[in-house]
Amino acid sequence: MTDQPTPPRGPYADIAPALDDLTQRVLFGEVSERPGLSKRDRSLVTAAALVAGYHTNELPFHLRRAVENGVTRDELIEAITHLAYYAGWPAASTAFGIAREVLAGQRDSPASTHSSRPSIGSV
């Protein structure tokens, strides 16, 4: 018997082991680790693509991952606000509902909490 660590398993490893392997090894391995973008920038691009594509199932995970990779709450809110014009109001509105839950309790700067005007970004 070997003492090798078990590789991480994704949420569908039990039903689609080949897809899980590709996700872990290729997407989160080879693709995510390419040197052309920082992890931070790659996370911001991924979150934007998910918002624009209305991919709500994957968005919570990737918003959390973006924060872990250095994207600030304010940057995520600003990106979603910007995407409202390009991806549509429904996509942005839905993304804000998800961001409200994922980013609850996080604040970037005093300026973001003392705005004199209400904004959709104050989730």
The domain spanning residue 57 has which CATH number? 1.20.1290.10
> Do the domain assignments include residue 50?
yes
| Residue that has been written with the tokens 């290729």 in this structure | 26
- For a pLDDT cut of 70, what percent of the chain falls above it? 80
Instruction: Name the domain count of the chain.
Output: 1
> Do the domain assignments include residue 112?
no
> Do the domain assignments include residue 12?
no
120: pLDDT strictly greater than 80: no
> Do the domain assignments include residue 122?
no
> Do the domain assignments include residue 44?
yes
Identify the domain containing residue 93 by its residue range.
39-105
> Do the domain assignments include residue 113?
no
Residues 32-67 pLDDT 10s: 889 999 999 999 999 999 999 999 999 999 999 999
CB 94 within 8 A of CB 56: yes
Phi/psi of residue 41, nearest 5 degrees: -65, -40
